[in-house]
Structure 1
Amino acid sequence: MISEQKYIFTSERLGFRNWLMTDVEIMAEINSDEEVMEFFPGTKSRQETTEFIERMQHQFQEKGFCYYAVDKLETSEFIGFIGLSEQVFAADFTPCIDIGWRLKRAQWNKGYATEGAKRCLDYAFNQLKLEKVMAIAPTVNLKSEQVMKKIGMKKTKNFNHPGLADHKRLQECTLYEINAGEFKTIFN
């Protein structure tokens, strides 16, 4: 049962954990919401969601991090993901560790993405001892860029994402980054 799930770490309102196959149904709903997926090439099917969760479980086993499944602590409700993932697409800054988030639309505008991303950076730098974390979003995704700024990240550049070459509206992406020293200076 999720409420008894041991969290890898928590923030004030959120619990971060490895994925369970019981998360597929809700994550598939999130991934099929056109508004949630506005800045992606399209929505994701239940099968694609299952494959994503299996990749995240494997990455967690291999690396000790992933885009973590996130629950609201108060209710144990699963609301989406916030976390870290290795990116290896062809670019002059990859491979890199990326921070990302995707939450149920009903949970937007409550500060969860910012709270959760800041806590993930804290975990990345203080427990995992990572040196740098990047964030990538299409330049049209101003909401994600605002979260990047709120968690202390600095814009490095814009670039054309090779995986989005067939999606002109999304192809130009913004790259943000923060290192351990910068994070500690801002938040400690």
Structure 2
Amino acid sequence: MNTTKNYIFTSERLGFRNWMEDDIPQMANINSNTNVMKFFPSVQTAEQTRGFIYRMQQQFEEQNYCYFAVDVLESDAFIGFIGLSDKDFESDFTPCVDIGWRLSENHWKKGYATEGALACLKYGFEELHLEKIIATTPSVNIKSEEVMKRIGMTKVKSFNHPLLLDDERLRECLLYSITNR
């Protein structure tokens, strides 16, 4: 196992880094959990997870940001991702930079999503000099919307997500945003 972890930045309890091969099985396990993926059209396979991680590695090389692999500093435990990613699906607010998170179920309700998202906003605004960061979630995902509010984002509107039009439960999404102050 590769235990060399070069953190791009840290928060009080979390380390944010680019992805490693060793992360693939752990992230695949998270992506196959039906509770974690409740607000997505389906769980993801190991191969889909591998593709996602490769895309994130490539995006980091090009942009200096991605949905970062996240570890708990105290225990060195990998818990999922929190970070920034480019979005370019067809809408009136894309292309844009999105903030998102997906954590293993046994690391929920510890404040990690909020703490990590605040650290990512700080990185995006102070280090990358981004002007605006958005977040989207299906309107039924109250917990993600609560995180968006806690990190200071403002609701912009509801919209039908073009990639979820065939999914009656997930189609209606919320758009939140925050600008660099």
Band of TM-score, shorter chain: over 0.9
Consecutive unaligned residues of structure 1, counting only runs of 5 or more, are 182-188
Shift of 1:166: 1.1
Shift of 1:3: 4.6
Which residue in the other structure is 1:105 paired with?
Answer: 105
Equivalents in 2 of 1:128, 1:73: separation in Å?
A: 24
Which residue in the other structure is 1:173 paired with?
Answer: 173
Shift of 1:2: 5.5
Which residue in the other structure is 1:62 paired with?
Answer: 62
| 1:29-44 equivalences in 2 (<5 Å) | 29-44=29-44
Equivalents in 1 of 2:120, 2:16: separation in Å?
A: 9
| AA in 2 matched with 1:72 | V
Q: Is the 8 A contact 1:3 1:76 kept in 2?
A: no
Shift of 1:4: 3.2
Q: Over aligned residues, Cα RMSD in angstroms?
A: 0.8
Equivalents in 1 of 2:3, 2:54: separation in Å?
A: 21
| 1:17-56 equivalences in 2 (<5 Å) | 17-56=17-56
What TM-score, normalized by structure 2, do the two folds share? Answer: 0.99
Between Structure 1 and Structure 2, how many residues are aligned?
A: 181
| 1:76-95 equivalences in 2 (<5 Å) | 76-95=76-95
Equivalents in 2 of 1:21, 1:173: separation in Å?
A: 33
After superposing on structure 2, the runs of 4+ consecutive aligned residues of structure 1 that deviate more than 3 Å are 1-4
Which residue in the other structure is 1:14 paired with?
Answer: 14
More helix by percentage: 1
Q: Is the 8 A contact 1:56 1:67 kept in 2?
A: yes
Consecutive unaligned residues of structure 2, counting only runs of 5 or more, are none
Equivalents in 1 of 2:151, 2:99: separation in Å?
A: 11
Shift of 1:134: 0.1
